[in-house]
A and B are shown apart, each in its own frame.
Chain A
Amino acid sequence: MNAILHAQQLTKHYPGSIALDHVDFTANAGQSIAIIGPSGSGKTTLLHCLAGILRPDAGAITLNTPSSPLRLDTLGDAALSRLRREEFGFVFQQGMLLPELTALENVALALMLNGTDRTISENRAAEWLAALGLAGMEQRRLGELSGGQVQRVAIARAQVTGARVVFADEPTGALDSATSNEVLDVLLHSVAANGRTLLVVTHDPNVAARCERVVELRDGRIVADTGNSMSASNLPAQAGQAPSSQAAPGTQAASNFKGAYNV
């Protein structure tokens, strides 16, 4: 399997505490990975660092794109913002959708932000909503949908742009168990069907049990990893292009990418 996202010696401090303590982590393309651990173990911080939302204090994060590897930790704010828009999708517990927009507009907006025409965006958004069981609800505002339906909208929005990695933070945290299972089905199936990588932070053992790989954090360190057959040191050829050597700041490949993502 190919590594798509690779973190090396990630460290992140908050005042008075260490959230990530020299974490090495590799996500393979097409894999579904659950990140579990008690509150304060650093799992959301890890997710935010990998997604380019937070900057680590130290360490390297590399995204393998089809052309060449990209070092997230060296990108500027605008480039990171564009990366999150184009390469990543997000399904968080709440608040990631706009309450004043309809379901259709929320999904279409993700495409419109990338410069897609509104009509094309809305058509694609409608296809995604229909595929996730929301046909006929396109024109409803978020307040008129149930919690499970809102999360389906978020799942559609996360993938409509063709994002290669989907980050989910407690996606079923606010739902009852039956709805939770439905939403999880939709998330896992749609991500797998489209060959995307899923990283999901969760407290829920049922969610973790349904992912291909489970990574457990405690006090900012990875203490268990069911998919750790492949450590950072023996990554396959493509991942070998990645971390510190070729993609280091100043190399041609890195500057090409930074150019491409600079807004």
Chain B
Amino acid sequence: MSSLSMALRLTPYLARSNGSSFREAGLRDAGLPILAFGTVTALLLTVAGGSQVFWSWSDDIAGTYQALAVVAMVLLIIPLLTLGASAARLAARRRDDRLASLRLLGANSATVVWMTVIESTVLAAVGAVAGAGLYACVAPFLGLIQFRGQAIGSHAWLSVPSILGCVLAVCVLAAASAALGLRKVVVTPLGVRTRQTADGAHWVRGLVAAVVVVVGVVAMGMLSSFGAFIVIIAVMGGCFGLALLALNLMGPWILRLRASSQLKHAKKPEQLLAARTVLESPKESWRQVGGVAMTSFVGVFVGVGMAVADTMGTSGDAEATLLVRDINTGVMITLLGSFLMVACSAGVNQAAAVLDRASTLVALDRVGMPQKLMVAARVKAVMSPLFLVAGISAAAAAALVLPLTGAVLLTQPVVFLTIGGVFAAGFLLVRLAVAAGTAQISQVLARPERYANMDS
């Protein structure tokens, strides 16, 4: 326990030393992770509250709503967990350098791990409580959403214990992620200190992902043979969830392959830099574009959902008309939720990427690299893989949904229009986040003394 008590003594000390230069480092060290954890918590609570409504019904048609709710939840929860993990990594990574130094100074590995876990958990707790507050502000408005012809009202409000449970879950996620992420610092302090290790992205990822998608497609094809309705829902939800996880697994590997090829053919400095940026950490690059992969995946379901609604809408049955309207409401909410996550994750990751490299940017400026070239390299490193990942994930979603709906539904104009719209909106959001990040490059270069040591 002595390493824990040492960590408890050291952590506030480091936090204080950080506080003295809060304006310089505050955004980087605490602001971004808190913002990210806050958004994650608010969205998590919103999704949980929304889905709770559907489980409160018990009539004949409730099953249909519940099945659709499971699909929507899975589509939202996986990106949400990814964003959460990304926030947690952000909280832990801020300290990599300093912790590696502490390790070099002789702090034992348990102390270093404890310190990081404590710091990340505190940041997550602050963010999660803020997120819960945000949810409390938003919940009354959520109640105005109509399902089955009436506003859902207080059905969408979560109980206090549920909210506390969510806050706790976010903190646990942050702590676990920090402990896992810090292993490499503990094992090789020198390696991380000098950034010796390049992120791997093994081909096994691609293989595992492909197997998951194939299994998913087969399972979806056999869906009706599973018998009990609840089993069908479970299998369907499981397939979507696994496919999203598979995408997440495969993404970095695809990015690495593409960047290797781009590196070979790079002619201009910004092409070289962009390819090397991706190769340096395919996982980080994936975090910056992964959100759009998720929305593309969701987009296919949304498009298909709209097409289903279209065909059902012509039947004239009152209950069916209501269901059609509700499906439309549901897919719009799902889409909105996933775009909120993309915006949040892209913004947070872009800001972190620029701030992380601030001292390198200052150095490059000093040796005469034009700022517009730094911006071009940054934009290229993010935007170039975007088309690829969006296309692949849309294809994966189409493969999964095909056994359910058949090819006729997939080729409806409304599907194409929706997917096109989702792609465009996703690209725009990420591009805006990149623009915000590159605007920070100017700020960094305008005040280089904050980021580089300058003897007077």
Contact = CB atoms under 8 A, between A and B. Distances in A.
Interface residues of A, number: 42
B368 A88 contact: yes
Contacts of B368: 81-86, 88, 113
A92 B456 contact: no
Interface stretch (B205-213, B275-283, B330-338, B407-415): B275-283
Contact of B360 (A92, A98, A143, A263): A98
Interface string B268-290: 11001100110110000000000
Nearest to A118: B267
A129 interface: no
B360 A44 contact: no
Interface string B434-456: 00000000000000000010111
B363 A81 contact: no
Interface in A131-189: 141, 143-144, 157
A217 B267 CA distance: 45
A100 B368 CA distance: 19
Contact of B363 (A42, A92, A109): A92
Contacts of A118: 266-267, 272
A105 B272 contact: yes
Contacts of B277: 100
A50 interface: no
A207 interface: no
B195 interface: yes
B455 A112 contact: no
A92 B266 CA distance: 28
Given A84-B366, A86-B368, A113-B368, A17 B269 contact: no
B194 A48 contact: no
B198 interface: yes
B109 to A, nearest CB: 21
B280 A100 contact: yes
A150 B455 CA distance: 22
Given A105-B272, A143-B196, A48 B454 contact: yes
B455 A95 contact: no
Q: Pick from A40, A44, A81 the residue with the most CB of B within 10 Å.
A: A81
A103 to B, nearest CB: 13
A39 B455 CA distance: 7
Contacts of B371: 81
A53 B449 CA distance: 12
A19 interface: yes
A19 B454 CA distance: 12
Given A112-B268, A118-B266, A118-B267, A85 B455 contact: no
A118 B273 CA distance: 13
A14 B363 CA distance: 21
Nearest to A17: B456
B359 to A, nearest CB: 6
Given A44-B455, A95-B452, A105-B276, 12 more contacts: A44-B454, A45-B456, A84-B367, A85-B367, A98-B364, A100-B276, A113-B269, A118-B266, A118-B267, A143-B194, A143-B195, A263-B370
9 contacts: A45-B456, A85-B367, A90-B366, A95-B452, A96-B363, A96-B366, A101-B276, A113-B368, A144-B196
Interface of A: 14, 17, 19, 39-40, 42-45, 48, 51, 53, 78, 81-86, 88, 90, 92, 95-101, 105, 109-110, 112-113, 117-118, 141, 143-144, 157, 201, 263
